[in-house]
């Protein structure tokens, strides 16, 4: 029990400390709203895409990928998305709130918290597995997010989904661009291997070194900005939606996703690094990008922001519990 407790603390607390640091720096006036707004855009448009590109490129070979691990992650996210749509539509008749809540249930903060959490839990193997999953889950999260907010927003409930708008939103998403670029370069590397060409992107040390430097600042900077954007307003007016969404995101989703994975671990050939990745997919709080997209696409941006705040706060406890349990049953 003590070993599991210490393991969970070492994995989770560094992430929590950076979030708390961001909140405190804002409180003392060192981080301004303008800086945080620009920092959020910088993270979303530059730092995260570069980090995803590097994580995907670091995959050794396509042949080394456990595709059962990938398929389970994709299938689970889609099932959770469909269940979320049904449950959230039954919970509220407000279309704008529906969009924000559905996103809150299925869309994890995989890029900012999930990937570093996987690396913290299972070292380089965890980071590699998380990088593989990012090539599939990040585009899926963003595609489902665009679909959700196109259908469920503050406009007329009779509005039809604009397929062209959905596709354009998916293609132009910076996170998808970063992941797609990583896959393209990885594909070129695979071709070079087959043609016995020794040249690699890493051989261009000036370029690749710069990308690695950008990647290295992404996680700490993004977590500090996340902490700085915490707001505790509007709780009294939205408390029912906040409680509903937080319970689903922080408890129902990880319990279902991780339990099913544990029961299927022998069939799917899952090991510790895969569960470290699933922690990022299922157990992390709502993605910061969900609030940005909710504001831009006509959903309830205030509720979306509150979901980011409260699922992040609660996750500091729930992630710790899940890591401890998985450690005790021998997964980590």
Classify residue 198 by burial, with Cβ atoms within 10 Å: 0-12, 13-18, 19+.
Answer: exposed
318 close to 251: Cβ distance less than 8 angstroms:
yes
* pLDDT one-digit tens code per residue, 140-182: 888 888 888 888 876 654 445 566 766 776 777 787 788 888 8
Cβ count within 10 A of residue 306: 27
Domain that holds residue 79: 2-328
CA 308 to chain centroid: 12
What separation in angstroms does the CA of 190 have from each of 8, 159, 184, 223, 327?
Answer: 37, 45, 10, 34, 36
Structural domains in the chain (count):
1
CATH value at residue 272:
1.20.1530.20
pLDDT mean over 4-16: 71
Residue 77 has pLDDT above 90, yes or no: yes
- Ranking 52-61, 130-139, 153-162 by mean pLDDT, the lowest is 153-162
Residue-wise pLDDT tens digits, 20-51: 899 899 999 999 989 988 987 888 789 888 98
Q: What is the pTM of this model?
A: 0.78
Return d(Cα 88, Cα 83) in angstroms, integer: 8
- Coil, strand, or helix at residue 121? helix
Measured distance CA(332)–CA(312) in Å, rounded? 23
DSSP state, 1?
-
Q: How confident is the model at residue 54 (pLDDT cuts 50, 70, 90)?
A: confident
Average pLDDT, the chain: 84
The model's pLDDT over 255-286, given as tens digits with 9 standing for 90+, comes to 999 999 999 999 999 989 999 999 999 999 88
> Which residue has better confidence, 74 or 59?
74
- The whole-number pLDDT of residue 158 equals 46
């Amino acid at each position: 029990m003590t070993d599991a407790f210490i393991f969970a603390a070492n994995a989770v607390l560094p992430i929590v400390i950076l979030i708390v640091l961001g909140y405190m720096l804002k409180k003392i006036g060192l981080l301004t709203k303008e800086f945080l707004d620009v920092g959020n855009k910088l993270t979303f448009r530059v730092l995260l895409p570069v980090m995803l590109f590097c994580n995907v490129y670091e995959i050794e070979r396509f042949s080394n990928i456990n595709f059962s691990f990938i398929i389970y992650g994709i299938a689970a996210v889609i099932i959770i998305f469909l269940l979320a749509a049904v449950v959230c539509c039954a919970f509220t008749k407000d279309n704008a709130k529906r969009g924000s809540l559905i996103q809150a249930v299925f869309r994890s903060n995989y890029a900012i918290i999930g990937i570093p959490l996987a690396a913290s839990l299972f070292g380089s193997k965890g980071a590699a597995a998380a990088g593989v999953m990012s090539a599939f889950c990040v585009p899926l999260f963003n595609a489902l997010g665009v679909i959700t907010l196109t259908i469920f927003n503050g406009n007329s409930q009779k509005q039809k989904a604009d397929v062209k708008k959905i596709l354009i939103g998916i293609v132009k998403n910076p996170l998808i661009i970063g992941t797609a670029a990583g896959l393209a370069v990885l594909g070129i590397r695979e071709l070079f291997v087959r043609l016995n060409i020794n040249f690699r992107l890493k051989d261009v040390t000036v370029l690749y070194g710069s990308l690695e430097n950008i990647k290295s600042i992404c996680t700490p900077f993004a977590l500090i900005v996340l902490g700085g954007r915490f707001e505790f307003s509007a709780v009294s007016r939205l408390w029912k939606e906040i409680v509903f969404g937080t319970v689903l995101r922080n408890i129902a989703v990880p319990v279902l996703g991780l339990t099913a994975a544990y029961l299927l671990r022998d069939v799917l050939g899952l090991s510790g690094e895969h569960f470290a990745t699933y922690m990022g997919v299922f157990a992390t709080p709502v993605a910061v990008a969900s609030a940005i997209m909710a504001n831009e696409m006509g959903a309830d941006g205030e509720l979306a922001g509150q979901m980011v705040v409260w699922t992040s706060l609660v996750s500091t406890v729930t992630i710790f519990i899940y890591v401890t349990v998985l450690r005790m049953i021998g997964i980590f």
